[in-house]
Amino acid sequence: MRSVHSLIPLACMIWSAVNRPAQCQSLWANMDEGLSTSGPRCFLEDTQNDILYVSGAFAMAGEDVISPGIMTWDGEHFSAMDCGFNWDCVSPFSSGGLGNGGVGTLTFWNGELYAGGDIYLINGQPASNVARWDGTTWQSLGLGLDGIVYRLHGYPDGLYAVGSFTHAGGIEANGLARWDGEAWHSVYGLPLYDDVNLIYDMAWYNDQIYICGNFGSANGISDIAYYDGTAWASVGNGIRGSFSQVNLLEVHNGLLYVAGAFAQTQPYGPPDNPGCGIVTWDGANWGQLGDGTCGSGNPTIYRMTWIQDTLYVTGRFSRIGGVPTGRVGRWDGTQWCSLVPPNYFYPDIGALGAYRDTLLIGGTFWEAGPDSIIRVGKWVGGDYTSACGLPTGVVPTEPIENELAIFPNPASDHIRIEFPDSAIGEQLVLFDATGRMVDTWRIDRSKTQLDLSQFGSGSYVLKTSAGQQARFVIARQR
């Protein structure tokens, strides 16, 4: 049987034939021998001990390391944590005490590691979706929670859990609970907005607690709320839409970053939603990160992670910052770039994280462009980007009358332009993403097609001397 590595050149040729990149470049590398089944759901770096915790619904790493739901990574190899979740350390194909969701969240609190998710057995005993690692084995937290835990966060006053549970330690909690080390507590009497509150994340921001998910409509609260000191209240006008939900909250450099499945077009939201896929909140106003995932058939962002001051996201979106993508994007503070071309991962992505300032990705995939990557990989693409959107603020936000029509967009080597009659005889000017003029032409009736082969990938603006303009993207595979 041929090894995975011997198949890489063949995979490269096949992927190249289908996608026609300019060159066949490896952007991701395998981590050891990869992981089984659904791959990772969560990465958590322990910088003090220089170790990475990896969790999910998997049972094995390669053919030898068995540890259902949880493993460690030291930069070279995966290792088991005791017997994982309820494995007997003997049966090689045991999936342990995990449901389909596996271990979906990890965090530290009071110097100890905690795990949450769809966990029903620990050490052969019934468990309720949350556990503590005591340095040797996993322990239950009291009576636990009666539904799946989507996220855990450690704060000075306790370990916070959010999810689809109704009770925590036997008391009504409605999807948000706090563990103080001995007992569970409800948090500010969170009401039941639906049959079951689906709370996907929470954060403390400006000394106030925020929650998000797929809940509400009563009292103007939709998918995101905060406690104002006396009651739960809406954040702005909320996030609305038939299919909308907010998946993630994260505080960075004084802003609350809000990500999920929302847009300014239905079914993911009305025009007055604050943005597409990801926005910021400063305590009073929404802020946009360029175009976000606008233009995608599905705008959803599932995961985000920071490396220094660069933000990375993944999800179901097909465009980021106006450019096509294989669903991995990078925001550098001024513009979005796609880290992989369209149709790069097969079949799906499920996790995003970082270790030693290197981007990590996980999911059900076993193909990543030209390479075989077995459900978990690390970034080796250097400064590669497949395309970048226009930096924030380069193009005026005011609507321009009589805009030029350009086809196709995104483009590769040529574009076709439809001019208004008033433009005949005028000058046509091309600007790059920095606002630098890169070429000019005189418009005549024969000038309906422009050769772009000498220009690099990225965002451009085409303007006439009379003020008509169009924005377009050159997106080539490298």
Q: How does pLDDT run across 375-395, given as a tens digit for each residue?
A: 999 999 998 998 998 887 554
pLDDT(13) > 80:
no
Q: What does the buried/exposed string (b/e) look like for 370-388 if buried means 16 or more CB atoms within 10 Å of the residue's CB? A: bbbbbbbbbbebeeebbbb
- CA–CA separation, 214 and 224 (whole Å): 8
Q: What is the mean pLDDT of residues 230-235?
A: 96
Q: What is the mean pLDDT of residues 135-151?
A: 95
- 351 vs 421, higher pLDDT: 351
Q: What does the buried/exposed string (b/e) look like for 142-156 if buried means 16 or more CB atoms within 10 Å of the residue's CB? A: eebbbbbbbbbbbee
Q: What is the mean pLDDT of residues 435-441?
A: 70
pLDDT of residue 430: 80
pLDDT(399) > 70:
no
Q: What is the mean pLDDT of residues 433-441?
A: 67
Residue 256: pLDDT band (50, 70, 90) is very high
Give me the sign of the Cα torsion angle 246, 322, 26, 14: positive
Task: List the single range of 159-163, 181-185, 446-450 with lowest mean pLDDT.
Answer: 446-450
pLDDT(447) > 60:
no
- CA–CA separation, 276 and 92 (whole Å): 45
H/E run at residue 179: strand 176-179
pLDDT(247) > 90:
yes
pLDDT(11) > 80:
no
Residue 124: pLDDT band (50, 70, 90) is confident
H/E run at residue 17: helix 4-19
Task: List the single range of 125-139, 331-345, 414-428 with lowest mean pLDDT.
Answer: 414-428
Residue 97: pLDDT band (50, 70, 90) is confident
- CA–CA separation, 243 and 234 (whole Å): 19
Average pLDDT, the chain: 86
Half-sphere exposure of 97 (CA within 13 A, CB side): 23
pLDDT of residue 3: 35
For residues 354 and 43, the answer to whether their CB atoms sit within 8 Å is yes
Residue percentage of the chain with pLDDT more than 90: 67
| Phi, psi (rounded to 5 degrees) for 429 | -125, 135
Residue percentage of the chain with pLDDT more than 70: 85
pLDDT of residue 424: 59
Greatest mean pLDDT among 82-91, 329-338, 444-453 lies in 329-338
pLDDT(187) > 60:
yes
**Nearest partner of 98 among 73, 134, 67, judged by Cα:** 67
Residue 415: pLDDT band (50, 70, 90) is confident
